[in-house]
Amino acid sequence: MPISRVGLVVHGGRREAVSGAQTVRAWCARHGIGCVDIDVWQGEGSRHTPREEVQAAGSPDLIVTLGGDGTFLRGARIAAQKDIRVLGVDLGKVGFLTETRVADVERALDAVNAGESECEERMTLTMRASRLLEVPSPEEAVLCYGRGPALPAPQPATDPDEEDDPWGIALDVTALNDIVVEKLARDHQVSVGVYFAGRLLASYSADGVILATPTGSTAYSFAAGGPVLSPRMRAVIFTPVAPHMAFNRTVIANADEPVALRVLPHSGRAAVSVDGQPRAILEPGDWIGVIASPRPLRLVRLTPTNFYGRLRERMRLTDAPATAADGEAAPMFRPSSPVPDDLRHLQLPPPP
């Protein structure tokens, strides 16, 4: 589908990102395509909600982000609201989400406009909660010190009929990487009961707990000792952070299995962050439910994703010292010959 309107999310502190944004604006002007800067800031001391950002941008059908994965997450938060495609231009240091180099941005836009690109869907998470959530001003000052004001508190996805609904309040929250519940005070851990599909798994005392998507498996969950999952999967990854208990393993739930976290009465207060952004404070007795969202994020891809090659490159994986590097072509894959019938259902890279 040709592009009709582009939204730009730019890391204004990086000269290369600002220059790349000028290139995008010039390309749009040559093709008679509307282009608007999406500003997540709203004057001093406040920020837009994702819904407000989409409305202010005039509902673009393509969002281009110029920066690293953090900038991309800002754009993804907006794009998920209206099923908008996202093209990430890579200027970061790790770059698992972005893939187009800034020097290639015009070629990428040409391909998208000509219908020569594909959309890769990534699973996202959303939330329910026992009550409407917020970050009180004193805690916001601490949580956001040195990084600007927090995003607005999560709004209800629909008008709640009753705040004491046992199913909780559906919140207008989208997480591409993870939803994290962690302690507020350094000397007081958070204690949470963790429920999978309505059944208690265990009560944890820990620095925090992470609920991540397969896309987010290479982010905070990975740093906390969690596994790496293919981003093509649909699963919810539960990883405790420094738990004070013998069972410290990650548990992976299927995407249709909800995960609920209840802050226990003897726990300290807890902070909730979504994709690294502080969004709420939980009191003892509060609970949140984390579920797979019905709205995936649509990433623009010009070539098939080489996730495992990128994993090796970006994580700087090295071969075992006792082995010689395997310089041969991948076994069970011969691009010069037809794919056998029993392998046609598999995801294989195209011939070079």
Which active-site residues does the annotation give? 69
Partners of 247 in the beta sheet? none
Contacts of 223 (CB under 8 A, 6+ apart): none
Nearest-angstrom CA–CA distance, 282 and 260:
13
What residues form DSSP beta bridges with 274? 179, 277
Give the long-range contacts of residues 39-44, CB within 8 A, separation 24 or more: 40/9, 40/74, 41/148
Q: How far apart are the first and last CA of the chain?
A: 26
Q: Is 47 left (phi over 0), alpha (psi -120 to 50) or beta?
A: beta
d(CA 148, CA 152): 12
User: DSSP secondary-structure letter at 40?
Assistant: S
Query: Among 334, 332, 339, 335, which Cα is nearest to 352's?
Result: 335
Buried b / exposed e along 264-302 (16+ C-beta atoms within 10 A)? eeebbbbbbbbbebbbbbbeeebbbbbbbbebbbbbbbe
Indicate if the alpha-carbon torsion angle 164, 165, 168, 172 is positive or negative.
negative
C-alpha span between 174 and 289 (Å, rounded): 13
Where helices occur in 90-177 by DSSP H, the ranges are 105-113, 137-143
Residue 256, both tokens: 């249709």
User: How far is 77 from 107, CA to CA, in rounded Å?
Assistant: 25
| 128 CA to centre of own chain | 18
Three-state DSSP at 217 gives helix
